[in-house]
Structure 1
Amino acid sequence: MDQPVSQQAIDRRRRLKLAAAVALLATLCATAWAINRAVRPAIGAADIHVAEVRRGAIANTINASGVVIPVHEELVSSAFQTHVAKVHAKLGQQVKAGELLLQLDDKTIVLALDAVKEQLAQQDNRILGLTLEMEQKRKQLVSSIELLEIDLQSTQAKWQRFQRLRKSGAVSGEDMLTAELNVKRTEIQLRQQRELIEDVKRATGSSIDGARLQQAILRKQLQQQQQLLDQASVRAPFAGMLTAILADEGASVATGQLVAKVSELNNYRVEATLSDFHARALETGQAVRVEQNGKQLAGKVQTILPEIQNGAIKLLVALDQPHDPQLRNKMRVDVNIVTEQRAGALIVDSGAAFNGRGPQPAFVVTDGVARKRIVNFGAGDGRAVEIVAGATAGERIIVSDISRFKDADSIRIAN
């Protein structure tokens, strides 16, 4: 016989059904959560760098590689063919202005110098001999002129006496003519002797001028040889560091060959190299940021070298602080050339996740999930990049490299 079910049994059954439903729901949620974790890719928060979008100033820059070089350096080359006689300095040594660096063999220069001195002495003797000869000839001609002047006076007196006697008929016409011709002959001889003095002066003076011209040429040669002799002692042109030297004693040296180089200390500039693709964007006077080991130095484009080699262009950067103690010769630095600047732009820290200007995918982080979004990027200065569209101030974007998730639409960020 059937008995009615007690209220207690009914309540027990209800509780069991409710517990079974709750357990089923929990199982479904757990399963969905597990499936979501298995399907959606995840990345650790410590493995990424997230930056916040903000307002700020941005400068568009062109990146270049640079090397620190001295503002002033001087190359010392050999003025003649010789060999190294003795080395007095070492590479990397700090030297004073005029300090002897090395000695080149000067025997051939000394011989050539002595030969020029001998030729110069010969010309001195020649000039002296010509001068004495001219003076001697002048004295002889002066003596002849003085005698001819006496003869002229005598013939003139005789002619005048004959003129007076002719009136009385005491002198014949023939004697008168002879006396007159003697006067004219003496006058001609006197004039010739005087002209001969001038001829001797001109002739001898021309020889002396030729000797003096040769003497001037020899003096220039003497000066040149003396300069070569002085250059055989290679000295520091100014105080600085010896950055190159031909240190092998006995080594042959060709004319014009570099034997030493002295660079100025604690006064530097930067030589930057970049692709000629950016040539049109470069101008002298553009602001430049030079970075090395986290330190930034300001400067300006001083000179753009006109020659392009292997698709690269070079420029010289003048630093605002060329005496910075951290600068070293041949130090490699990063150079950022500022081509434009904007204030109040929407910016985010630069990172490997971005690739130049234009629209590109980026992951925006919200509530522990990074969702892919197309963001339009603009100018960049190496530290920050401008956001033209696709994000707003306050949003957070992954800026580190997550290229392995390029096909994912979202990424779960695990703590």
Structure 2
Amino acid sequence: MDRELSLSTKQARKQKRLWQVSIALVVVAAAVFGFRSLLTPSLRRADLRTAIVEKGPVEATLTASGLVVPEHELAVTSPIQARIEQVVHTTGDKVQPGDQILLLDKAFTQLAYEKLKDEEQLNQHKRVQLRLQLQKKLNTLNSELAIKRMNVKSLQAQLEDEQYLLKIGGGTLERVKQAELTLKIAQQQLAEIEQDMITERQLLKADEQELGFTMAIQSRSIEELERKMQQAEVRASRPGVVTWVKNEIGSTVNAGDVIARLADLSSYKVQATMSDAFAEQLRAGGPVTVRINNTDLPGTIATVDPTVSNGTVTFYVALNENNNKLLRPSLRVDVFVTTATKPNTLRVKNGPYFSGNVNDKVFVVRGDELVRVPARAGVSNTDFVELENGVQPGDEVVISDMKDYLNTPKVSLKE
């Protein structure tokens, strides 16, 4: 026969069931929470880089590599073919106008100079000889001219005598004609001598002119050699610093070879290079920013080299502050060429997130999670990226690399 359970037994069973249900609920809750954790990834807040959305200007820029060079640099060339005899100032030395930098051996040029001086002396003697020769010829012609004139007068008298005899019947017509012919021949010879004298004077004048031209050329050559020999003591023509000098004593240099460079280190410019793919966007007068140790120096494109070398184009930047204390010769700098400007737009600091394909979305911090929202990136530079929509000023946006979460709508944050 069945017995009714005692009250204590019933309470024990009821309590056991409550414990079973509670444990089951805990297990179910843990399973749900664990599954949710598997569906929603999480990141440590300390592992993220974020930036606050703000309003401000954004400039689209092209990046180039730059080298600081003196704004004014003078190349000193060798005036003659010579051997380097002495180096007076070396690289880094400051010089003033007139200070000697190099001394060249000018023995070869000295020989050429003395040869020209000898030739000039010979030409001066030649001019004297020409005049003496002309005077001798003129003296001979003057003597012949005097004889011919006297002969013509004598023949004229003979002709008059024959004409008179023919008139009184004491002569013949043939003798008169003979006298006339003889007189004409003498007169022609007299005219030839007079013309010879004119021609000799003209020849002397032409020879003297030619000799004068030769002597003038020699004189200029002598002056040029004198100047080159003075320049062989290579001296500075302006104050500056020796940035390079050919210091190989005993080596030979040719006329026109660069043997030293002087620079005025009171002002600088930047020589920049970038890929020729962006050459069409480079314009003289375009704005440029030069960055040195996190300091930005504004400037403009002064000139663009029209030639392309090894796939790169070279241009020069004129700095607004070309004597800034940060500028140093041969200093490597970053150059940013501005191609477009947004004066007042939503912007956020640039970071690794924007370096790849961001799929026009960004992650915004919402409490303890990251929410992916649409936000198209616009113009950008190394400092800022424009966000054209999807965010508001004050939003905190992730700028670190999120390539593993680009298709994840939400990411949990944990401390």
TM-score (ref. length: structure 1)? 0.82
Matches within 5 A, 1:245-260: 245-260=245-260
**8 Å Cα contact 1:74-1:237 kept in structure 2:** no
Amino acid at match of 1:53: V
Aligned to 1:288: 288
Aligned to 1:297: 297
Aligned to 1:43: 44
Distance (Å, rounded) in 2 between the aligned partners of 1:409 and 1:98:
75
Question: More deviation in 162-171 or 68-77?
Answer: 162-171
Q: Considering only aligned residues, what root-mean-square deviation do their CA atoms show, in Å?
A: 3.8
How far off is 1:342 after superposition? 1.6
1:112-160 Cα offsets, whole Å, 9 max, x none, are 1111111122122112211221123223322332343233234323432
Aligned to 2:4: none
Matches within 5 A, 1:164-243: 164-171=164-171, 176-177=176-177, 179-243=179-243
1:163-197 Cα offsets, whole Å, 9 max, x none, are 33442334555654554344334312311211221
Could you say what secondary structure the match of 1:353 adopts? helix
Q: Per the alignment, do residues 196 and 308 of structure 1 end up closer, same or farther by CA in structure 2, a change over 3 Å counting?
A: closer
Distance (Å, rounded) in 1 between the aligned partners of 2:37 and 2:168:
168
Could you say what secondary structure the match of 2:116 adopts? helix
**8 Å Cα contact 1:82-1:105 kept in structure 2:** yes
**8 Å Cα contact 1:359-1:377 kept in structure 2:** no
**8 Å Cα contact 1:266-1:325 kept in structure 2:** no
Distance (Å, rounded) in 2 between the aligned partners of 1:245 and 1:407:
62
Aligned to 1:148: 148
**8 Å Cα contact 2:292-2:326 kept in structure 1:** no
Amino acid at match of 2:78: S
**8 Å Cα contact 1:237-1:262 kept in structure 2:** no
Where does structure 1 lack aligned partners over 5 or more consecutive residues? none
1:191-218 Cα offsets, whole Å, 9 max, x none, are 1211221232344444444433433443
Amino acid at match of 2:141: L
Q: Per the alignment, do residues 392 and 221 of structure 1 end up closer, same or farther by CA in structure 2, a change over 3 Å counting?
A: same
How far off is 1:379 after superposition? 0.7
Aligned to 2:371: 371
Distance (Å, rounded) in 1 between the aligned partners of 2:43 and 2:224:
81
Could you say what secondary structure the match of 2:91 adopts? coil
Say how many residue pairs are matched. Answer: 402
1:284-343 Cα offsets, whole Å, 9 max, x none, are 322111111222111112222233333322211122222323322212211111111123
Where does structure 2 lack aligned partners over 5 or more consecutive residues? 1-6
**8 Å Cα contact 2:64-2:336 kept in structure 1:** yes
Distance (Å, rounded) in 2 between the aligned partners of 1:304 and 1:259:
27
Distance (Å, rounded) in 1 between the aligned partners of 2:67 and 2:92:
18
How far off is 1:366 after superposition? 2.2
1:366-386 Cα offsets, whole Å, 9 max, x none, are 224333445321111322110
Distance (Å, rounded) in 1 between the aligned partners of 2:123 and 2:149:
38
**8 Å Cα contact 2:42-2:414 kept in structure 1:** no
Q: Percent identical across equivalent pairs?
A: 26
Distance (Å, rounded) in 1 between the aligned partners of 2:155 and 2:250:
85
Aligned to 2:263: 263
Q: Per the alignment, do residues 357 and 87 of structure 1 end up closer, same or farther by CA in structure 2, a change over 3 Å counting?
A: same
Distance (Å, rounded) in 2 between the aligned partners of 1:80 and 1:229:
8
TM-score (ref. length: structure 2)? 0.82
Distance (Å, rounded) in 2 between the aligned partners of 1:381 and 1:208:
77
Q: Per the alignment, do residues 366 and 229 of structure 1 end up closer, same or farther by CA in structure 2, a change over 3 Å counting?
A: same
**8 Å Cα contact 2:358-2:406 kept in structure 1:** no
